[in-house]
Amino acid sequence: MVSSTRASGTAEALRRFARQRGAVVAEAFLLALAVAAVLAPHIMPANPLAQDLGAILSKPSAAHPLGTDDLGRDVLARIVYGARLSLAASLMAVGIAALLGVPFGLLAGYAGGWIDDAVMRVNDALQTIPALVLAMAIAATLGPGLFNVMVAVGVIFAPRFARLVRGQALAVREEAFVESARAVGATHSRIVWRHVFPNLLSPILVQVSISIAFALLAETSLSFLGVGIRPPEASWGADVGRGYRFMRRAPWLVFMPGMAVLLTTLAFNFVGDGVRTALDPRQRYARGRDLA
Amino acid sequence: MTGFLGRRLLAVVPLLLIVTAIVFSLILLLPGDAAIALVGMDNASEETIAAIRTRFGLDQPLYVQYGRWLGRALHGDLGVSIRTNEPVLGAILDRLPITLGLAIAATAVGVVIGVPLAVIAAHRGGLVDTLARGTASLGVAMPNFWLGGLLVMVVALELRWLPATGYVGFTDDPVDALRHFALPTITLGASAIAEVTRQLRSGLLDTLATDYIRTARAKGLGEQAVVSRHALRNALIPLVTIAALTVNRIIGATVVVESIFALPGLGRLNLESVLNRDFPTLQGSVLVMALIVIAINLVSDVAYGVVDPRIRYR
Amino acid sequence: MIKRILAASLVAVLLAAVTATAQAPTPRRGGTLRVALRAEASTLDPHRGASGTDHMWLYPIYDTLVRFDPSMNPQPGLAESWEAPDPKTLVFTVRKGVKFHDGTPFDAQAVKYNLTRAQDKKNAVNTELTAIEAIEVVDPSKVRLKLKRPDASLILSFADRAGMMVSPAAAEKLGEQFGRNPVGAGEYKFVKWTPGDSVRVERFTEYWDKSKAYLDAILLRSMPDGDTRLNALRSGQVDFVMEIPQQDFDALKAERGLTTYNRISLAYWRMFLNMSKTPLDKKPVREAIAHAIDRPAILKTIAFGLGELYSSPFPAAHPAHNAAVKPYPHDLAKAKAKLAEAGLPNGFTFDMVVEAAPEHVRRAEALQAQLAQAGIKVDLKPVELVKGVNMMFRAKEVMAANFRWTGRPDPDQTLRGMFHSTGFYNTGQYKVPKFEELLDQAVSTYKPDERRKLYAQIGQIIQDEALDPGGLFFAAALEASSTSVQGYQPNLLGKPIFRGVWLTK
């Protein structure tokens, strides 16, 4: 039923999204941030890596609108460039989460039986270990680097996708039409493709938009703890971590990048809520573990 | 009821086994050689390293190591820290009260402030609701390390009302202990408040829209009674779940907060064991954390079952 | 008349006041010194342990055969005197009438027991005693060491772990548990260890040297966080703190009620290089590195000026320092010229590990940026410390490491370890024959003056051959105490010893 009205469904969804002011403003902010991040070399005169050992920890001034850090590097430049790392990390982490979670969820829901049992038990176990702890262990194990952090964060969000997809696949499997489709010779993959997937798209999209905010928080927390740093690149979490020791002399080192994280996470949250409302108005006040 | 409890307990066992297996297999990927960690930076002969390796059983195949570890763990022996040579269980038990205390205090803050906030928001709507929603959104988006830093900067460094870092035992000096615990609790509590408010509010609004509430209103019950007697009671069911979820999330967040405020808790132990390649301690501490989460989930499920009889027969 | 009496009495009062303050305060007995240290002891067994941070916990409990003065010159300890009748024989005469904390008498037999114990291959400290072939008890207070080769570094080794004397009776009885229940012959006897928190030691009433034992007890506490340590000092929870964060030190000096100590230590930050890998094996390349680094800037910004510029592997206060060797000047043009000379006009790339904590990464980044200006690109790899040590010194996977050389009591240990072709820290086994010849000479003579001359020559060779182009600066040991702590003297090793400390009030 969704497939036939999909085209108009999208337009309707977009309209519902546009009606929410918070989400629209947030979306605009994110787009601006993304553009700034991509165009950083062209719009930022200062080099985030350029050290000036004679001017460390200097206050905001004309030359450095947000001051300099503990090696004399321009804080504003580091925040703008840091956006690249953080945005890329969170997007890709969620991508990895979906890539890992969706197939397993499909497998579990569709195949059922002991496979379902096994996959869901592993899923539960993964969600039982506190998220940050697991991510930290994985990232530290794999070693420093952006990719490893993304994998670690991806792994902790994968169970949510798996559970979501499994539910959908399970529901479809129960339908009578599957029996008849099999009777006329439809392969499993065809059934999955034509009947399971279409219903999955919007829940997955909702889950993606909700997860990005938390993925960003997770990645910055890991960088703050010192796991996964790849100096001397600019990274919001790592910059806050490094600035902590100088809080008395230069509080802006902690305050500014932290503010960037806060605003971006907030924006992602608003957009996520907006997407959720747009795609599923009945679920307006959603609750429960799955969509957390 | 006992059947329900029994069934839930039984379900925990395979979960625990898988958790331990996951944690153990993680260590497999550790590229550092733990035996060398013991000897320190000074040059050690190959013989010394080999002797230490044998002593800790690091030369056995992985499944043998896992089996041994599991067997000992069942007897309460979580091994010995590679760094300090102290029993892991002892180190964990020393630090557990701090982390648990922090988590419970923060959750309590979350519930005590979040529930009234959610009720008022759902009840009054309008500006109050928007404010509550806004604050909740802010609280959820705020990184712990930023809020902690802000609090330290303003309250500890500028105003000097509370100490910035460190831990004082309750038995040594209760008042000073509370002072040292204040900022960490507020930092963690902020996100707890946000979580509780958000979830409870949406739960309340949902319930308020249902049929039987409409019936209650139609019956002529005042708005106050409707909210407090009917909606709240039903929304309190998920509150148990929400509180459990919040504690779980906070346990993970203690890694960051304990780091910022230099509290010698389980989260900090975890971080150190990861950075030091101290895998007996890492395994032990992750296991204990998972146990706490499982215990809390169990309690909340049972409480849920008590409150809502429909659940018991599942 | 009255005026004169008044004036006279005023003068008298003033004189009295002046003389009173001019007199040095007399040491007072009693009190517990509470110390906050960064890292907890790994074990209180001096032979078993290997961590450089254990020493502060060990010094109060154990006396050593040899002591050192604040400038690292050997002094008599439990050994009254020593002599070398021939280069391969060392005879130590030990004090009489000394007892261990459990009453066991200390004598030559105990020394033999201890040295044999230290030599056990399980113990990391055994590497310092490899020259010893046989240990003979000549009489109850004389021990003769027969050596495979002359080794003057043994003297100062006996001022460190290898010379810490444990009670043979207790060691035998307790076995593996000895590290938790130490028994030595030091000024203080062990009372209690609360793991993760503190160790308490109390004055040993039968200690042989009554002249300087003032304190009743010492409480050693571990507080890993620098801010927490400082706050504990400020709030009066502890009396003495070591390893103060550099960025906070200057502010501390202005605070009332606190005494700060700032003394250069033997430890210095440097780049360990694998000099057998191209192009680090070429001298001009190493000289280029040396000139590309702006050491004064690094000292000022990374260490906030609290240290001494590197010119040779020993600081100015150390006997082995050669004042004629000057720090490499910061000269980008020269650096580039040297690179061209080596056939690398466009520079080159190499990888370097560094400890992953923020303060270490910061230093490495500064270094990286400076080298980049000369066209030398550093691929920085922050890793956990032990992993980094493994990668650099055992697996030899990387070309450089930015670590600290923590310093050793004897100069031979430093030079041999880092620059001799057999040295563990000389990855790549780079060999300079003249250097090795002089090094062996210097360790074979027991005369301090001869050794000093030889080490001066060695220092020159190190600079001529550019063997240590990445030497940065000597770290100052930053400590602070409340003003009630008197009589503390920092030493060059950077590890506080509390002998002779007393408390006012």
DSSP B225-254: HIIIIIIHHHHHHHHHHHHHHHHHHHHHHH
> pLDDT-based confidence at A286, cuts 50/70/90?
very low
Chain B residues close to A140, C-beta within 8 Å: 274-275
Structure tokens at C220: 């050693």
- Burial bucket for residue A187 (CB in 10 Å: 0-12, 13-18, 19+): exposed
Question: b or e along B167-201 (b: 16 or more beta carbons within 10 Å of the residue's beta carbon)?
Answer: bbeeeeeeebbeebbbbbbbbbbbbbbbbbbbbbb
What's the mean pLDDT when you consider all of chain A?
82
Chain A residues close to C361, C-beta within 8 Å: 229, 231, 242
CA distance C353 to chain B (A): 14
What is the predicted pLDDT for the residue at A141?
74
Which domains, and CATH codes, for chain B? 19-74 (no CATH), 100-313 (1.10.3720.10)
How far from the centroid of its chain's Cα atoms is residue C23's Cα?
34
Q: Please answer yes or no on whether B290 and A129 come within 8 Å at the CB atom.
A: yes
Rounded to whole angstroms, how far apart are CA atoms B278 and B80?
A: 10
What is the predicted pLDDT for the residue at C51?
75
- Going by their DSSP bridges, the two strands C348-355 and C376-383 should be labelled as parallel
- Going by their DSSP bridges, the two strands C66-68 and C74-76 should be labelled as antiparallel
Looking at the DSSP bridge assignments, the partners of residue C402 are: C271, C354
The count of other CB atoms within 10 Å of the CB of residue A3 is: 12
Structure tokens at B70: 């599991």
CA distance B172 to chain A (A): 29
Q: B 219-258 residues with CB below 8 A of C? A: none
pTM, whole model, 2 decimals? 0.82
A250 three-state secondary structure: coil
Q: How many Cα atoms are found within 13 Å in the side-chain-facing hemisphere of C204?
A: 25
Q: Comparing A188-197, B77-86, B250-259, C103-112, which segment has the lowest mean pLDDT?
A: A188-197
Query: What mean pLDDT do residues A83-94 have?
Result: 90
Note whether B97 contacts C: Cβ–Cβ < 8 A.
no
Q: Please answer yes or no on whether C362 and A71 come within 8 Å at the CB atom.
A: yes
Chain A residue with minimum CA distance to C368: A232
pLDDT tens track for A120-137: 888 988 888 888 998 988
Which H helix or E strand runs over C150?
none
What percentage of chain C has pLDDT greater than the value 70? 95
Subunits with at least 3 CB pairs below 8 A relative to chain B?
Answer: A, C
CA distance C298 to chain A (A): 8
pLDDT tens track for B283-294: 888 889 988 988
**Unique residue bearing structure tokens 């094996």:** C281
Q: Please answer yes or no on whether B262 and C50 come within 8 Å at the CB atom.
A: no
Q: What angle do CA C304, A227, B243 make, to 5 degrees?
A: 115
Chain C residues close to A73, C-beta within 8 Å: none
> Which amino acid is it at C25?
P
Rounded to whole angstroms, how far apart are CA atoms C212 and C216?
A: 12
Chain C residue with minimum CA distance to B85: C42
Which domains, and CATH codes, for chain A? 20-291 (1.10.3720.10)
Q: Please answer yes or no on whether A128 and B19 come within 8 Å at the CB atom.
A: yes
How far from the centroid of its chain's Cα atoms is residue A281's Cα?
23
- Give every CB contact of residue B51 below 8 A, 6+ residues apart in sequence: C121, C122
Rounded to whole angstroms, how far apart are CA atoms C17 and C27?
A: 20
- Burial bucket for residue A168 (CB in 10 Å: 0-12, 13-18, 19+): buried
C199 three-state secondary structure: strand
Which H helix or E strand runs over C264?
strand C258-273
What is the predicted pLDDT for the residue at B188?
93
Rounded to whole angstroms, how far apart are CA atoms B20 and B18?
A: 5
Rounded to whole angstroms, how far apart are CA atoms B78 and A261?
A: 38
Which H helix or E strand runs over B197?
helix B174-208
What is the dihedral angle through the alpha carbons of B18, B19, B23, B28, rounded to the nearest 10 degrees?
10
What's the mean pLDDT when you consider all of chain B?
78
What is the predicted pLDDT for the residue at C181?
92
- Give every CB contact of residue A134 below 8 A, 6+ residues apart in sequence: A126, A152, A155, A156, B286
What is the predicted pLDDT for the residue at B44?
57
Note whether A225 contacts C: Cβ–Cβ < 8 A.
no
Please list the ranges in chain C whose pLDDT falls under 50. Answer: none
Q: Residues in chain B, how many?
A: 314
The count of other CB atoms within 10 Å of the CB of residue A236 is: 28
Rounded to whole angstroms, how far apart are CA atoms C251 and C243?
A: 15
Q: Please answer yes or no on whether B275 and A255 come within 8 Å at the CB atom.
A: no
Q: State in Å, rounded, how far the first CA of chain C is from the last one.
A: 43
What is the predicted pLDDT for the residue at C369?
93
Q: Please answer yes or no on whether A287 and B146 come within 8 Å at the CB atom.
A: no
Which H helix or E strand runs over C23?
none
> Which amino acid is it at C288?
A
Rounded to whole angstroms, how far apart are CA atoms C409 and C420?
A: 17
Rounded to whole angstroms, how far apart are CA atoms A75 and C496?
A: 39
For residue A90, is pLDDT > 80?
A: yes
For residue A137, give the nearest of B26, B141, B260 by CB distance: B26
ipTM of predicted complex: 0.82
What is the predicted pLDDT for the residue at B42?
47
Mutation target among B43, B49, B53, B175 for the C interface, most CBs of C within 10 A: B43
Chain A residues close to C365, C-beta within 8 Å: 51, 71, 231-232
Q: Comparing A103-117, B114-128, C249-263, C305-319, which segment has the lowest mean pLDDT?
A: B114-128
Looking at per-residue pLDDT, the higher value among B176 and C156 belongs to C156
pLDDT tens track for B206-255: 776 665 566 666 666 666 666 566 666 666 667 777 888 888 889 989 99
pLDDT tens track for B96-106: 999 999 999 99
Which domains, and CATH codes, for chain C? 266-475 (3.10.105.10)
Chain C residues close to A56, C-beta within 8 Å: 301
Q: Please answer yes or no on whether A241 and C358 come within 8 Å at the CB atom.
A: yes
Q: Please answer yes or no on whether A71 and C356 come within 8 Å at the CB atom.
A: no
What percentage of chain A has pLDDT greater than the value 70? 89
- Do residues C427 and C434 lie in contact, with contact meaning Cβ atoms separated by under 8 Å? no
pLDDT tens track for C130-183: 899 999 999 999 999 999 999 999 999 999 999 999 999 999 999 888 988 999
> pLDDT-based confidence at B35, cuts 50/70/90?
low
The count of other CB atoms within 10 Å of the CB of residue C253 is: 11
What is the predicted pLDDT for the residue at C333?
94
What is the predicted pLDDT for the residue at A277?
79
